[in-house]
Every structure is written in C-alpha cells, then in structure tokens.
Amino acid sequence: MPEPRSGSRPTLEAVAALAGVSRATVSRVVNGGDGVRPHLADRVQTAIQELGYIPNHAARTLVTRRTGAVAVIIPEPEARIFSDPFFSRQIRGISKELTAHDTQLVLLLVEDLCDYDRIERYLAGGHVDGALAFSLHTDDPLPAIADRIGMPMVYGGRPGWTAGPGEDDRVTYVDADNRGGARDAVRHLLAQGRRRIAHICGPLDQTSAADRLSGYRDVLPDAGCELVASGDFTAAGGARAMAELLDRAPSIDAVFAGNDLMATGALRVLRERGRAVPAEVAVVGFDDAEPVAESADPPLTTVRQDIEGMGRMMARLLMERLGDGRGGGRSVPGPVITQTALVQRASG
C-alpha cells in the first residue's frame, strides 16, 4: 500500500501525472470544476483520492492573495476577558460563523501596548484577510494601524471614538442596545414599586458601561450621585461597589448592576449584610451569559443580550465585506445594534 510519506505531500503536479491531464485541469476540478468534462473530472477525483492530495495553502495564498483566515484581536490587559463568559460566548459565535465560511480563526491576545508592533507586522504580512476586535478603549492604537495598512475590520462593541450609537456609519461594529436595555431594567424595578434604585456601573472608558449608565439616567434623571458606584465588570468589583452603596445610602431598595458578574458580587455582599433579596433589595444584572446569571443565588433577573449571535454577526459582516468569493461586495456595512430582552428570575 503506497502510504504517502509524511513530510512531502503530493502536489497538484503528481495528481495531474497520475490522472494523465495537465495541472490546469486538476486545478479546475479542485476549485469547483466548471468546464471540465465529467469523464476527466472523474479521473482527476480518483487520482486525488488515491494520493490523498490536499492543496498547499501557502502556494494558493501567494497567487490568490487570500488567506482564508481572520484575526480576532483581544486586548488582554483587562484580564476579565476570559473570566467573563461574555467573551467566550462571543468567540464561540464567531467561530461557528467562520467555520461555515471555511475560514480560520487566528487568536491574537494583546498583552501590552508594545505588542501592537507585532500585531501590525502580523496583519500587514498577509496572514489574514480581515480582523475582528473587541471592546477598544478610546486611545487604542489598533484603528489607526488598521487604517494605515488597509485591513478590513469589524469591532465588537461601539468604539469609544464614535459619537454615539448609530451616529457613525464609517466604522463597522456590532453592539447591543445597551442604553435601551438599561432603561428596561430600571423601568422594571420602578414598576415593582422600588423607589431608591442604585446603579453599579462598569469602567466608564468602555462604551458598554457608559451607555448603560446613560440608560439608567434616562429613566432616573434626578438620582443622586450617591446612588451610583463604580465597578470593573468583575464580581469582586461589584462586591466593593455594593458595600459602598450600602454605606452611602442604606435605604436603597434596588440595584441595577452593569453586568451579571458584578451583580453576583453585589448579591454576596447583600447576603453578608443580611439584606434579603429580593424582599428588601432587588437586583438586576446585564448579559445573561451562562452560567453566571442562572446559577446565581438567587438566580438573577437580568437584561439578556444575544452574545453568541453578536459574535456570529461580527463574523458575518466581515465576510460580507471581504466579498466572500472573488471581489464581490466591497461595501462597508454600517453598525448593527441588536435588541436586548429582560429575563425575569428570582432576584428582582
């Protein structure tokens, strides 16, 4: 049995020789095979099977100028990236969509700012056709780099430099309706008769945090600033913020946390201080990513965003922009804002 030797895989040439045709014909068969007589196509297919031929990626990329790969760039400095299921789910969504387009996911974790040199070389070196990036800060150098080297990008979460949701159509991003979702959460608490509603916000240099705070203020424009405490989107930060709120405003009867992780931190502090949830204090979170919200104690009422769907959408927009096949759609799709939905559970 002629086992193919590892280390030197069969080439197009070998297939052509075995099938008794030219390289060009084999190439046609491999790439869809229009305009090849079934007779020959079959012979080629057989040869391909027999030799276990698999096209060489580098050679193909060299001539087509397409890599079939996409970078996902994650600013690692915020270590919450992996502890927060948010990113994981989004990556899963991205992965699914890319797989459906036969495109590979190259993960680029950015440890610190000087890594951006490496990132630039990588992106410019033709390793990938486009890139997806998460939760950039206002001063992130990535957009400038992408611009300079002409790399198609799609952002996750509204980038900080845009004027506001839906107000800048030159950049493609996918975001949830953070402001609207926050309004829903606060209105839900109001409808329960809650009157002293506090907010634990995330880091305000991220638009998701800022937009949720805006939503809170939309509904409660007169809320005193003693009712707003800052967290960092982690459980520990949420706990600290909750403790602060209880000290500053002991009479609060509800808390809207900027995400589920902070909400769980808040729940822990409320339990430690003997405040019954939701009887004395209602708690609402944001995200509804497995398994945090559902397995919280008590299970969290929260604002659901379709995180995996947002990931898929990011990938889809990029694919669209890359013109899936050859040349096609060069357009730059505008932002996509996805809807949120309040999910009521036991906490409020």
Q: Considering CB distances under 5 to 8 angstroms, the limit depending on partner class, which of DNA, a copy of itself, none binds residue 108?
A: a copy of itself
Q: Considering CB distances under 5 to 8 angstroms, the limit depending on partner class, which of DNA, a copy of itself, none binds residue 12?
A: DNA
Touching a copy of itself, residues 281-300 (CB under 8 A): 290-291, 295, 297
Q: Is 321 in the site for a copy of itself (CB under 8 A)?
A: no
Question: Helix, strand, or coil here: 308?
Answer: helix
Which DSSP symbol is given to 8?
S
Q: Would the CA dihedral through 236, 237, 238, 240 be positive or negative?
A: positive
Non-local CB neighbours of 34 within 8 Å, separated by 6+ positions: 28
> Residues in contact with a copy of itself, total (CB under 8 A)?
56
Q: Which one among 42, 82, 169, 280 touches a copy of itself, defined by CB under 8 A?
A: 82
Task: State the chain's maximal CA–CA distance in angstroms.
Answer: 86
Distance CA 331, CA 226 (A): 47
Q: Which residues bind to DNA, rule: CB under 7 A? A: 8, 11-13, 20-25, 27-28, 30-31, 35-37, 39-41, 53, 55-56, 59-60, 62-64, 326
Q: Smallest gap, in angstroms, from Cβ of residue 71 to a copy of itself? A: 9
Binding mask 96-125 for a copy of itself (x = CB under 8 A): x--x--x-xxxxxx-x---x--x--xx-xx
Q: Smallest gap, in angstroms, from Cβ of residue 309 to a copy of itself? A: 16
Q: Smallest gap, in angstroms, from Cβ of residue 107 to DNA? A: 24
Q: Considering CB distances under 5 to 8 angstroms, the limit depending on partner class, which of DNA, a copy of itself, none binds residue 204?
A: none
Gyration radius of the chain's alpha carbons = 26
DSSP 167-216: --TTS-EEEE-HHHHHHHHHHHHHHTT--SEEEEE--TTSHHHHHHHHHH
Distance CA 41, CA 34 (A): 10
- 152 prior amide bond cis, ω within 30: no
282 contacts 192 by C-beta, under 8 angstroms: yes
Interface residues toward a copy of itself, by CB under 8 A: 6-7, 9, 52, 54-59, 61-62, 67, 69, 72, 76, 81-83, 85, 88-89, 91-92, 95-96, 99, 102, 104-109, 111, 115, 118, 121-122, 124-127, 149-150, 234-236, 239, 265, 268, 271, 290-291, 295, 297
